[in-house]
Amino acid sequence: MILAMVLLIGAVSIALAAPLLLRRLTDTSMAPATVLSAWLGSIGGAVFFGVSAVVVLLWPDHAPAESAVETLARCWSVISHAAAPWIIEAGAGLGVLALAAVAMRATVVGRRHTREQSRVRAYHREVLAIVARSRGDGVMWLDHPVPMAYSVGGRPGIVVATDGLAACLSVGEREAVLAHERAHLRGQHHRMVSVCAILAEVFPRVPLFVAAPTAVKILIELTADQYAARVTSAATVHSALTAVSDSSLPRPAGTLGLSNDMSLRLWALRTAGRTRWPRLSNTAVATVSMFGPVFTVMLGVSATAAVVCA
């Protein structure tokens, strides 16, 4: 029971406190990919520990990690064993009901999102097959004078650009724009946006999941810009974005386009820092965001138990 409570408190604290902390990170010079990792770690932590709390309550005897936790908090374990069995059973029953309701809602919403995404991809493939042409560079080019580029997720994903883009940008700027769109496909950004949208719909009152879609969309744009800046240069991405910033062409629904959050992106290109070991630091930040709150609660339980015992 102690372990279930620790996990549940950890999940709730991530869900409530994480958005406040993470929003502040977005306004700093920290690398966007690192902030994005913190968001994804927090989202994973809230889901994983919320589900784990119910699983632990349902475990027939003691869950595998429970004895370790109880060793840390022996005093609480006495209270736990003294608790009337009906309290644990009622908690487990409520947990199962809540989990079943969430699983059903997630299935319905997830299937609807998947269908919509498939429809968008099929539509783009059909239309592009007729009106666009390939020049052997992996990009589908549209004969349109307004500069624009966007990517459609899936396997394989598609990068679409207009002739207007090729006409109004230099070779380097065009390469920067295409690198940005390819970064969306390589980073599975469309999938991240979909998962966040599904969680926001399944948990409309949980602050972390409500805030995630907007924050993650902004961060993936900044991350793709950073990738493009590595392929070309920050100055090239900056001038490319400035050149296409007054493009009047609307971005197709269900795609990630060039015109999102332009002023923030120009600011981030000037200020965003670089991490020396990006993969390592992103993994570390995601791990801390995921496990940190539960570990903190566990420490709190141990400290309180130590005080009570003393």
Rounded to a whole number of angstroms, the minimum distance from the CB of residue 135 to Zn ion is: 21
Which residues contact Zn ion by CB under 5 A?
221, 224, 256
Contact 303, 6 (CB under 8 A): no
Rounded to a whole number of angstroms, the minimum distance from the CB of residue 281 to Zn ion is: 23
Residue number, 223 or 282, with CB nearest to Zn ion: 223
Tokens 């539509």 label which residue?
Answer: 123
The residue of the chain with the least Cβ separation from Zn ion equals 256
Residue number, 41 or 153, with CB nearest to Zn ion: 153
User: Among positive and negative, which fits the CA dihedral 172, 175, 179, 181?
Assistant: positive
Strands across the sheet containing 256-257: 132-134, 139-142, 158-162, 149-152, 256-257
- β-pair type (256-257, 132-134): unpaired
CA dihedral of 207, 210, 211, 213, whole degrees rounded to 10: 150
Residue number, 121 or 180, with CB nearest to Zn ion: 180
152 phi and psi, to 5 degrees? -115, 125
Contact residues for 122 (Cβ-Cβ < 8 A; gap 6+):
none
Pick from 131, 232, 250, 115: which is nearest to 183 by CA? 232
Residue type, 142: L
- β-pair type (149-152, 132-134): unpaired
